[in-house]
Chain A
Amino acid sequence: QSALTQPASVSGSPGQSITISCTGTSSDVGSYNLVSWYQQHPGRAPKLMIYEVTKRPSGVSNRFSGSRSGNTASLTISGLQAEDEADYYCCSYVGSSTFVVFGGGTKLTVL
Chain B
Amino acid sequence: EVQLVESGGGLVQPGGSLRLSCGASGFSFSAYSMNWVRQAPGKGLEWVSYISTTRSTIYYAGSVKGRFTISRDNAKNSLYLQMNSLRAEDTAVYFCARDSGYCSSTRCVEGSGNFDYWGQGTLVTVSS
Q: Using a CB–CB distance below 8 Å, which chain A residues touch chain B?
A: 3, 34, 36, 38, 40, 44-48, 51-52, 57, 89, 91-93, 96-105
Contacts and interface: CB of A to CB of B under 8 A. Distances in A.
Interface of B: 37, 44-47, 50, 57, 59, 95, 97, 100, 102, 111-121
A91 B97 CA distance: 13
A92 B97 CA distance: 15
A46 B114 CA distance: 12
B59 A36 contact: no
A51 B100 contact: yes
A66 to B, nearest CB: 12
B114 A36 contact: yes
Nearest to B95: A45
Given A38-B115, A45-B120, A103-B44, 5 more contacts: A34-B102, A48-B117, A52-B114, A96-B59, A100-B47
Contacts, number: 67
A3 to B, nearest CB: 8
Nearest to A102: B45
5 closest A-B pairs (Cβ-Cβ)? A100-B113, A45-B118, A93-B113, A105-B44, A51-B114
B17 to A, nearest CB: 24
Contact of A101 (B47, B102, B118, B121): B47
Q: Is the interface of A mostly helix, strand, loop or mixed?
A: strand
Contacts of B111: 93, 96, 99
Given A45-B95, A45-B121, A46-B95, A34 B112 contact: yes
A108 to B, nearest CB: 14
Contacts of B117: 48
Contacts of B118: 45-47
Contacts of B37: 46
A9 to B, nearest CB: 13
A104 B116 CA distance: 19
A99 B116 contact: no
Contacts of A92: 113
Contacts of A99: 47, 50, 59, 111, 113
Nearest to A35: B113
Residue from B44, B46, B121 whose CB has the most chain A CB atoms within 10 Å: B44
